[in-house]
Amino acid sequence: MNKYKLLTNLRGLMTPDPSQLWKVDTLDDPNIAISEGRIAWIGRRSDLPSEYSKYEQLDCMGRWATPGFVDPHTHLLFGGDRSQEFNRRLHGATYADIAAEGGGIRETVRATRLATVAELVDIGESRLQKMRSKGILHVECKTGYGLELESESRLLQAYSELIERGWSLDITIMPAHDIPVEYAGRADEYIRMVSEEWQPELVRRFPKVASFCDIFVEAGVFTSDHGRQVLESGRKLGLKPRIHADEFVHTGGAELAAELGAASADHLMFCSEKGMADMARAGVVPTLLPATTLFLGMKDFAPARAMIDAGCKVALASDFNPGSCACIDPLLILRLACLQLRMTFEEAFTAMTLHPAQSLHRNDIGHLFQGAKAELLLWDVKHPLELVYWMGEAYMPEIVSPR
């Protein structure tokens, strides 16, 4: 991409406004000026300052420009798949039944431990390519299918190679994703090991790779106290907390996220009203994963409306993983947010762009205002609302990018 470029012949532009809560701006017949990989100016074509009219032009052929989607919760790297387990669930077994028999996450752990770094990088690259082709330009990725030091280390090595190859990622360390077989019945001991030995060692081996830490606080897995231990020790290492919270039952995960000043609390199908108020007060971004609710065949979608009313900046994510959401489809999430979480189109769009970027502490993605990274999507639609309205349609954006 040249140093300077002017995007012309756009039908419209839609972007959340980072300076105001839940405000989405649309503009007809806009131009976008790009300089040195950043957005230098957006506005009506008729208002274009003369300095930008000399820029090399890119004809956008009457399409709409939006920021790229930001996915703030994925388990990108894992070996194998769990299609057999999926079928068992269709025959009546529950997610919890399968986990209790040693399947579920542990099944994926067995396959992931066998994968080499090179294999993990290949798997990751093909998944990221698929995400990108559908408009996801930045992805949060967790470890957590190694559950032993060397396997978790290989996952971090693979993530670090993917970043070197130019993928735009944020990495989260999550050995507390489940209790590995080696520690069955000894969750306290495992958590002590993760907090006191593994997290420090992983950060020492990969000093600049991960920015976040995470834990699955859930009945039968890890308690709030375990959460506090892992996340506080992560914070001392410079990792910002995220939490898998209140997914199957209310465990007080949202309240804990607020207490610890976590960047996000994720899932939250069974979040309490107090949890919502606490998150709003503490600036925790509730991150909702409606494709997981769908994939698990559950009826209780997260209470997005109540969270918005409580003053939370809600975000949406895929939760891409082999057990509870084998799905790379940002438009499905947008559609579920509108139709099941009862968010407006503008809210759902903001929750897939600006708010996830903010939960990852990035201010130059998720919007198209001046200074934003000049990587954006062009959609061949009369209005972006069509992306939700024509429900089964597999719209594919064109990507304008400095890469």
Other Cβ atoms less than 10 A from the Cβ of 401: the count is 16
Closest to ligand NIG by CB, 16 vs 303, is: 303
Residues 300, 321: Cα–Cα separation, whole Å = 20
Among the listed ranges 185-193, 201-209, 277-285, 316-324, the one in contact with ligand NIG (CB under 6 A) is: 316-324
Nearest by Cα to 301 from 281, 316, 311, 285 = 316
Residues 207, 41: Cα–Cα separation, whole Å = 36
User: Restricting to residues 315-354, which ones interact with Fe ion according to CB under 5 A?
Assistant: 319
- DSSP bridge pairs for 241: 213
Chain Cα centroid distance, residue 253? 18
Q: Is 71 in the site for Fe ion (CB under 5 A)?
A: no
Q: Is 218 in the site for Fe ion (CB under 5 A)?
A: no
Report the residue from 195, 321, 353, 358 that binds ligand NIG according to the rule CB under 6 A. 321
User: Restricting to residues 247-266, which ones interact with ligand NIG according to CB under 6 A?
Assistant: 247
Q: Is 175 in the site for ligand NIG (CB under 6 A)?
A: no
* Residue window 264-303: x/- pattern of binding to Fe ion, with contact defined by CB under 5 A: ----------------------------------------
User: Restricting to residues 376-395, which ones interact with Fe ion according to CB under 5 A?
Assistant: none
356 binds, among Fe ion, ligand NIG, none (CB under 5 to 8 A by kind): none
Q: Across 17-116, where does the E strand assignment appear?
A: 24-28, 30-35, 38-44, 57-67, 69-74
Among the listed ranges 22-30, 56-64, 318-326, 390-398, the one in contact with ligand NIG (CB under 6 A) is: 318-326
Angle (CA) 228 232 236, round 5°: 175
247 binds, among Fe ion, ligand NIG, none (CB under 5 to 8 A by kind): ligand NIG
Environment class of residue 116 by beta-carbon count within 10 Å: exposed (0-12), middle (13-18) or buried (19+)? exposed
Report the interface residues with ligand NIG, using CB under 6 A: 104-105, 108, 216, 244, 247, 292, 319, 321-324
